[in-house]
Structure formats: C-alpha cells, structure tokens
Structure 1
Amino acid sequence: MRLHTTIGQFAVFTAGTVLLASCSSGDESSSSADNTESSEETREYETEKGEVSIPSEPETIVTDYYAGELLAVDADVSGSGPDAFSNPFLEEQLSGAKNVGDPIDPEEVLELDPDLIVVMYDDNYEQLSEIAPTVHIPYNPDTDVQETLDTFGELTNNQAAAEDFKDTIEETAADAKERLEGTIDEDDTFGIYELTDNDELYVFGANGGRGGQAIYNALDLNAPEKIQEEVMGENAQEISMEVLEEYSADHMFMTTYDPEDTGESKEKIQDSDVWANLDAVQNEQFYFLDFDTYYPYDPISVNEQIDLIADELTE
C-alpha cells in the first residue's frame, strides 16, 4: 500500500481564393498553417523532472494513481493502476479502462498507445517517457481538492470542467451542512484514525485521504486541539494505542487496512480497555468506515464522501 491529480478546425478557404493565390504564397500559407497547427498541438508543462512537451488537449491518458483526478475534469483514462479499480466511485467510468499494474508496466501502457502518461511514482519513468510524454506529479502536492482540480484542469486543458466540479462539491457540502444542523453541537470535535493489519495506529489530518477532505475542508468540522497542532500539517502521524485517548475526539472515524479481511486488529482494539474508556465509544459516536470507500482523496471520491459522512452523523 502506498500513501497516497480538440484542436479547433481550420477555416475552409473557397476554391476561388485558392486559385487567386500564387504558388509561392500558397507554399508560405501552407508552411504557416503547419507551424500554427504544431504550436497548437503541444505545449510545455513544468514538472518535477523539468519541462515536458505535452499535447495541448490529450485524448488518451494512462496513469498509476490519478484516475479520479483526471476523470473529475472530464479527461479520458484508458489505463490506470489497480487502486482505482477498487474505488467504488470510479467503477462505472473505468469500465473500459485497463489495469496497467503497480508499479505501472511499460508493456501494458504501450498496448494502449496513450498520448499522455501521468504518474505519482517515477518507477519506469524513462521507459514510459519513450512511449508518450510523461508528467510526474509526486504524492499529494495540493493542500485541498480545489487545488487538485486546478492542477488537473490545467494539465488536461479542461479548466472549465474543473470549475464545474468545484461548484458541484460546494453544492454537495452546502446540502450536507444543512442536514447536519441541529444534529451535532457547534463545539464537537472530529478525529480520523486508521488501524492496520500489523496493529499500527495512525491519526490523519485533512489531506491524507480517509475522508479528511470531506470532514475538515468541505464540512468545516473541527479537529481536537492536539490533532490540529501535531497532525494537520502532515498527512498522518503514527501513535501507540496507549496514547489514543490523548488524540481522541467527540466523534471518531476509523478505517481498518486489512487486505486479508481477518478482522483480528479490529477485534483486538475493541477488546481493549483503551477502547472501552473512549468517550466516543461510550456515547456511540465511534464510526468504523470502509477502507476502499474512504481511502481515496480524488475529487469524485471526496464529493461522495461528504454525503456519506453526513449520513453517519445524522443516523
């Protein structure tokens, strides 16, 4: 598991105009049109690897971890890494896409003949760059989902779609906040946690997935002071079970990373005295969340998570 972003038609000249043009001017026009077409087809994009010449309007994109970000701005994703296919919110949109492996497999990518490759990790970067222009965007470069939409809207030249999705998220958040009125107290605090199959325990901030964007940014819910001071600037912080109470909140949301689905870690924490003494547990305000549903932090997933979190709190 890794912790985890039509060229316009040319005018048609009449036959009479063409006949009036001299051969030399016709050659110049042809050359000028070719240059214009070339400049419109590609543009320079600054990346961690330096400037990359990318299509102005890419049509076939392959990515390792940015399927949701690309789909949110109406870009075509023909291939993606396996994580995207376990995301319940992307299932329909990726029905025709190909799993290109983790790390991304150049041979699988080659078969798709993309005109742009977007990667979070630079495994096989040189090989991928020989297939198509490859943009390296390291893990989690943006502070919120709005910045993410700006990044991928610019990358794909779909800024209008990015703005539309920002509006969608704002509307979803406004509706969810209205549903929450009178359900939670203004001073209530909210915490996000994850337990792994190795009994590791993490506290998450706003920008590490697990519903953080929905809870802290979209719904404007407050973290406890200790989490604000120690975790919010980071994606996550590992803690021991013994100090969980120090990072506890009035409402606690926990995902469990358990790929073998043994349930052992979850049972262990629920059998502990630490668990039993948490105010959130005693007040029935401790919520176990599905890992696949809350792990992603792309705009499409965040938009859906906003409603799901409101459902948890109102039910």
Structure 2
Amino acid sequence: MKKLSIFAILMAFILVLGACGNKDAGSGKEDNSNSASGDSKAEETETVTVKHELGEATVDKNPGNVVVFDFGILDTLDELGVDVKGVPQTNIPKYLEKYASDDYTNVGSLKEPDFETIHALKPDVIFISGRQADLYDQFAEIAPTVYIPLDTTDYVNSFKENMNTVAEIFNKEDEMKEELADIDDRIAGIQEKTSKTDDKGLIVLGTEGKVSAYGPASRFGLIHDVFGVKPADDSIEASTHGQNITFEYILDTNPDILYVIDRDAAIGTDSSVKASLENDLVQKTNAFKNDKIFYLDGQYWYLSGGGLQSMKEMITEVENSL
C-alpha cells in the first residue's frame, strides 16, 4: 500500500506538471496568433481612390503591373522612374522608344487595344485618356482603370491635377511638387516676355499638304491661353481637330509668329509639311519675312501632350520662339 501511495502521488504530480506545460504552450500559441494578426494589419496595402468623369478607381499604392495607354502619362512615369509592364507600341515617340522593346508587352495601339493580352498581364492599374474613353468599361472589367483626360480649356490646372494623381498613386508627391514649381517659374518667365510685345501668333497643324488652325481654348491653345502669345485670329473655332484653313487664310491673317506642328513627322510618314507650307503665299507673311516660322516637335505636342517631359519641352520650344 505504501508503495502504491507513493506511486499515485508521483503520477498526480506528473499530471499537474503536464497541465501547466499545456497551459503555457497554449498561451504561447495565443501570443503568436496575436503577433501574426498585428503583422497582417501592418502589411495591409494602402490604396488611392481616384474619381474621374467616367467613374471611380481604387488603386493600390505603388502598383506593380502597370499598363499605360497615354504617352503623356508614360513620359511622366518614365521621368519619375516608375516601371511599366504594358504599352501600345505603335507610334511611340522617339524619346520613349525604349518602350518599343521586348522588355515591355505590346498591348495594341492607342485606338485598338489588345484586350486579351491586357487581361493576361493581370495589371494592377490601367491608365487611359481621351483616345480610349469609349472603351473605358472594357478596361475597367480587367483592372482598376484611371481615366486621365486633359482639359485644354484649363490646360495648366488640368495638367497639374493629372500629375498630382500620378504622384499620389506612386508616392512621388515631393518630386512632383518640385517639378511643378519649376514649370510654374518657367511659364511666368514666358508670360513676362509675351506681355511686353504686340506680336501675334497663329498655330497650325500640317498633314499631307493640308493645314488646320488652332486658336485659344483649343488642343494647342495653351500657347495663347497660358503662355500669353496674342492670337492673330481670335475667332478660330475651338476644337480638338482644328479648323480647316487655306494658305490664302494664312496670308490674310498675316501672323507675326507662325507655329507649325508637323503631324506627318510625328507619326513617321514621309511627306514634308515644310515643303508644302512655305509656298509663295506664306512667304508674303510677316512670320516668313522675319524668320519667325517655328516647327514644333509633334512628338511632344501631338503624341504625348500633357506629360511631365513633354510639358517641359513644349515650354522650351515656346521660350526659343520669343
């Protein structure tokens, strides 16, 4: 009996120790669970909600798989050092030609997206602009789609809003603040010059021997509206595609400065706008006589307007014209 009693006491003692150990282990497991929960909360992805005129997009901050259908936004991301995965590789501006390489996925053209390829990329965000507006719903079915149009009637504010949206999504606010401040300073310098002259300018786009004019509040109207160049004709219809004109019209308007955007050069065709434009009629204008015909780079003005790089280059070209 004595041996049995001792044995029973020992067994009871072992059972008590085992229970304590299990309790401690349970406590440890509970602590690990709490720790993991805390880590999970800390690692929750921060998002940005962008409201635009076509809808709303909630985008993860610093998205990895980026598809871009606007060359102005592409040049902005390039300037900010942001990687992209997919771009429309048709008619990419030469200064962005690295995106035409096999390092990037071709997602169609600006007007004809390859939705199958886009879907396969599993993008985290898609950027589109006016050329793709009618296809917004199809993009939005694939991934959060940010529509970034450029309001030419309020060019600078629209441009800044777009730039700040991009900066917020990619955590580039400080860099963008500096970039926009520099742009403001340069614009102010141009405005100071244009305020001191009565020279009047005319903006034309040439393609395949045809010419169209652009005035204030038009696609290229920032030359008048923002930079302050006085219009040679303030009755030009404000539109995206411009007002069809003749060479006689250019002579009758007789601009002091003639700004020419060569669409053919921008899209890589062989026709020469300069050869057709500088004819006998145009040679009678003040602009031609005073060597004030300026051929603007269509890559910046026609293909990728509204981008950070293109905006700075456009400012430089107008500065040089003054």
Mean alpha-carbon deviation: is it higher for 96-105 or for 54-63? 96-105
Match of 1:118 among 108, 116, 127: 127
Residue 178 of structure 2: which of 134, 141, 164 is its match?
Answer: 164
Shift, 1:246, TM fit: 5.6
Taking the aligned partners of 1:289 and 1:283, their CA distance within structure 2 comes to: 17
Higher relative contact order (CA 8 A, sep 6+): 1
3-state SS of the aligned residue for 2:43?
A: helix
Hey, what does 1:64 align to over in structure 2? Answer: 69
State the match for 1:289 in structure 2: 296
Any gaps of 5 or more consecutive residues in structure 1?
A: 1-18
Partner residue in 2 for 1:307 = 316
Aligned mates of 1:35, 1:117 — CA distance in 2: 27
Q: Hey, what does 1:190 align to over in structure 2? A: 201
Specify the alignment match of 2:17 in structure 1.
none
2:145 is aligned, of 134, 137, 159, to 134
- Rg larger in structure: 2
Alignment of 1:1-315 (within 5 A): 23-24=29-30, 26-38=32-44, 40-65=45-70, 66-82=73-89, 85-88=92-95, 90-91=96-97, 96-102=103-109, 103-120=112-129, 121-122=132-133, 125-140=136-151, 143-144=155-156, 145-170=159-184, 186-197=197-208, 199-205=210-216, 208-209=219-220, 213=222, 215-216=223-224, 220-224=227-231, 226-227=233-234, 230=236, 235=240, 237-241=242-246, 242-245=248-251, 247-258=253-264, 259-263=268-272, 266-273=274-281, 275-295=282-302, 296-297=304-305, 298-313=307-322
Greater helix fraction, Structure 1 or Structure 2: 2
Residues 135, 289 of structure 1: alpha-carbon distance in 2 compared, 3 angstrom cutoff: closer
Identity score, percent = 24
Following superposition, the deviation at residue 101 of structure 1 comes to 1.9
Query: Separation in 2 of the partners of 1:107 and 1:59?
Result: 19
CA distance in 2 between partners of 1:309 and 1:97 (Å): 33
- The Cα shift of 1:237 comes to 3.2
Q: Give deviations 1:183-228, integer Å, cap 9, x for gaps.
A: 996222333211222624122546625xx65x4577x34222633x
Aligned to 1:10: none
Structure 2: where are the runs of 5+ without partners?
Answer: 1-24
User: Does the 8 A contact of 2:218 with 2:242 survive in 1?
Assistant: no
- The alignment's TM-score, normalised by the length of structure 2, stands at 0.69
User: What TM-score, normalized by structure 1, do the two folds share?
Assistant: 0.71
Aligned-pair distance for 1:104?
2.3
Residue type of the alignment partner of 1:203 = Y
